[in-house]
Structure formats: C-alpha cells, structure tokens
Amino acid sequence: MPVKSQLITAIPVYNGEPFLERTLAAVARQTRRPDRVVVIDNQSTDRTEAIVRGFAGLPCEFIRNPSNLGLFGNLNRCLQLAPETRFLHLLHADDTISPEFYEVMMQSLGGDAGLALGWCLDERIDENDAHLSVSGKPDGSVTVLERDVFLQRKAEIGNQAFCATLIRTDYQPVPVQFPLDAPIMGDQMYWAALGAKCRKIVFVNRALAQYRWHGSNQTTFLAPAIQPLILDEWRTMEMNEALRGKGWIWHRKLKLKALLAVRSGIKAKRVRQNGNAKYSQEIAAAAQKITGGPLWLAGQAVVELRDFYLFTVCRRQRHPKNIYS
C-alpha cells in the first residue's frame, strides 16, 4: 500500500525533452517541496526518460504508460494518484511555477477538509522564458468564491491554467474525469465539473505560475479544425452554464454569445495574420451561425479596440503561434 503524502506533483508528458528539465528545476526550487514527483510518460520517443532519471534536483518517479493515452487520457491517469495525497498538482512538462507556489496555494486551501480547488494568475512566457503577459492584474488578494460565481466564470471561459491550479483531494478519488472528446476545451469543462462538486474554491490573485507558449503547444496542432476550436467552445459555455442550474436566462445567453463573438474574432484575426485567410473565413462563418450577424460585427469592433489598446498603447508582446489572445 503506497504511503500517503501531503503533496504530489504529477507531470504528464509526451516528448518533453525541450522543457522538462526546466519544469523539474522549478519544482525543486519550491519553498515547500512536494512529497512525491511522479512523471507519467505517454510513450515518448525522445530523451524524456533519461532527463527524469538523471535529474539530481529532487527524487522523481518515472511511469511509462503501455500505450499513448492522449493528453487528457494521461491526465486522467494522473488523477489516479488522488487517494494517495491531500493535495494534487497537475503540471504540464513545459510549464513552471514560482518558488512559493505550493506554500501559498496549500495555505490558501488549508484549514478544513474535503474536495477543494484553488488557482492563481499565470504569467505567459515563450520558448526562451521571456515574459509575454500576465493573465490578470495581481493585487495579492485571496478570494473564496461561491460555487455559482465560479461556474459563471467557467461558462465565460475565465482563464485557469493547469500549472496555476492545485486540487485538494483529501485522500479521496477525484469524482470527475477529463473528457476525451474535447481536445482543446477539455480543461475548461473539467474545472467547471470539478468545481461544482467542491466544498471550497479559492482564487489567489498573484502570478505564481508560468504558462509557456511555444510552437509545439497541443492547442497549436489542434487549432486547424472548427469542431475543437469553435463548436466545442460554445458547447463548453452551454455545459458550464447548465451546471449553475438556473436555465437559459436570456441576458446570460446574449452575453455568452457576445463573448464567443469576441473570442472567435480574435482567433479569426490571428489566423488571418498568420497568412491563412481561407481558414479565417471558415472560423468567422462557424461562429456567426451561433452568434448571429449583429453580435459578430459588434464583437469584431471590440477585437480591434482591444488589439489597439494592448499591442499599440500598452506594447504587450504576443507569441506569433498564439491565436487565442
């Protein structure tokens, strides 16, 4: 019988050679180190195993899946560790965390028992660890959210990065698993479904995690398909709103469609900027079928104003492969 831990870091990986050592080093620098670091490999063909077994910063366990389960299948494999720990962190092999991440997040979720979820802001970085942006305006506050407020944010696709999220499993199996039929939006579906069952939900308004944008992000590969890029996003909005149990109130439906128009408009513009005008038109057509023409046009005006403010006035850096922001 495995010894129960206070904190397990589970790292799902497939061909993680470019960034995995940086991820492990970030875990080793923690002011509160995890009791176990478990790297679960999805049949990598590069030096992933050698990097894990040769890492000297802290002990790491290496588990190789008998077959490639896909990203969300491997994340579900990581969830199997939940009964062995009080806190479980799912950390992608290309992301990092600030030295005080575990100390702060565990403290914010402590004090009681049962299933809980906490997340913080994330800093976006590129392949070379250069700063791109932050997912919000950090002020150091810690907020305990009502379940309905959290689900409302999830219906609006509020940002929540894997690297920035800690689950308090309290030595129990996690009651929901990642969906396997939504390769881009599966995490947004999952956090909402998990939050709906949590006793406590906490947001720490500090940038304690680093989400890496690079040319080999899974979302980059999956973007050239309307179903995961646009239709699954609307499906996620509908599913997460339904978890609130309040029905389709007309003004909420209007707001979510307006948000879809803006989010899809950003994607269409980025794809066009990257030289694929045909696919940009397909994105626009798919989104307009959901939002309708007037909301779509209004959304595009918001996109242009937003881009002017962020990238001209504020001079924010944008990764060329990131079509989502």
- Give a three-class secondary structure readout of the chain: CCCCEEEEEEEEECCCCCCHHHHHHHHHCCCCCCCEEEEEECCCCCCHHHHHHHCCCCCCEEEECCCCCCHHHHHHHHHCCHHHEEEEEECCCCCEECCCHHHHHHHHHCCCCCCEEEEEEEEEECCCCCEEEECCCCCCCEEECCHHHHHHHHHCCCCCCCCCEEEECCCCCCCCCCCCCCCCCHHHHHHHHHHCCCCEEEEEEEEEEEEECCCCCHHHHHCCCHHHHHHHHHHHHHHHHHCCCCCCCHHHHHHHHHHHHHHHHHHHHHHHHCCCHHHHHHHHHHHHHHHCHHHHHHHHHHHHHHHHHHHHHCCCCCCCCCCCC
d(CA 5, CA 308): 49
Average the pLDDT over each of 30-39, 226-235, 267-276, 284-293 and give the range with the smallest value.
Answer: 267-276
Q: Say if 321 falls within a structural domain.
A: no
User: Residues 54, 78: one domain?
Assistant: yes
Reported as a pLDDT band with limits 50, 70 and 90, residue 40 is very high
Residue 140 shares a structural domain with residue 110: yes
- 116 belongs to a structural domain: yes
Question: In this structure, are 270 and 137 located in the same domain?
Answer: no
pLDDT of amino acid 217? 47
**Which of the listed residues 212, 238, 268 is the one where a domain comes to its end?**
212
pTM of the model: 0.92
pLDDT tens digits along 234-273: 999 999 999 999 998 999 999 999 999 999 999 999 889 8
pLDDT tens-digit series, residues 44-80 = 999 999 999 999 999 999 999 999 999 999 999 999 9
Q: Which of 192, 162, 299, 184 is nearest to 233 (CA)?
A: 184
Q: In angstroms, rounded to a whole number, what is the distance separating the alpha carbons of residues 112 and 202?
A: 13
124 pLDDT more than 60 = yes
pLDDT in the model for residue 323: 59
Evaluate if residue 222 carries a pLDDT over 50: no
Question: How far is the C-alpha of 104 from the C-alpha of 135, rounded, in Å?
Answer: 18
Residue 324 lies in a domain: no
CB 163 within 8 A of CB 91: yes
| pLDDT score, position 34 | 98
102 and 181 housed in the same domain? yes
What is the reported pLDDT for 321?
60
Residue 318 lies in a domain: no
Average pLDDT, the chain: 93
Answer yes or no: is 323 within a domain.
Answer: no
User: For residues 86 and 7, is the Cβ–Cβ distance under 8 A?
Assistant: yes
- Domain for residue 156, yes or no? yes
Q: Do 276 and 172 share a domain, yes or no?
A: no
Tokens 């990203």, residue located: 71
Do 199 and 227 share a structural domain? no
Nearest to 64 by CA among 46, 45, 41, 82: 41
309 within some domain: yes
Residue at which a domain ends, from 161, 194, 212: 212
pLDDT at 170 (0 to 100): 97
Question: Which structure tokens are listed for 275?
Answer: 């030289």
Clarify whether residues 41 and 77 are in a common domain: yes
The separation between CA 8 and the C-alpha centre of its own chain, rounded to angstroms, equals 18
> What pLDDT is stored for residue 231 in this prediction?
96
Domain around 230: 218-313
Q: Count up the domains in the chain and report the number.
A: 2
Residues 128 and 145 in one domain: yes
* pLDDT band, residue 216 (cuts 50/70/90): low
How many Cβ atoms from other residues are within 10 Å of residue 118's Cβ? 26
pLDDT digits over 281-291, tens only? 999 999 999 99
Write down the pLDDT at residue 315. Answer: 76
**Could you say which of 164, 187, 212 is where a domain stops?**
212
pLDDT at 10 over 70: yes
> Quick one: 200 and 231 in the same domain?
no
User: How confident is the model over 228-232, as a mean pLDDT?
Assistant: 94
pLDDT classification of 303: cutoffs 50, 70, 90: confident
Q: Give yes or no: residues 54 and 165 share one domain.
A: yes
CATH of the domain at 152: 3.90.550.10
Residue 325 domain-assigned? Answer: no
Provide the CB-side half-sphere exposure for 106 (13 A, CA): 19
Beta-carbon-side half-sphere exposure of residue 74 (alpha carbons within 13 Å)? 26
pLDDT of residue 14: 97
pLDDT class of 319 with cuts at 50, 70, 90: low
Q: Do 86 and 21 have their domain in common?
A: yes
Confidence of residue 324 (pLDDT cuts 50, 70, 90): low
CA-to-CA separations, 212 to 95, 176, 200, in angstroms, rounded? 5, 26, 28
pLDDT on residue 221: 42
Residue in this structure with the two tokens 């492969």, named with its chain if needed: 321
Query: Which pLDDT belongs to residue 278?
Result: 93
- Residues 60, 208, single domain; the answer is yes
Mean pLDDT of 132-137: 93
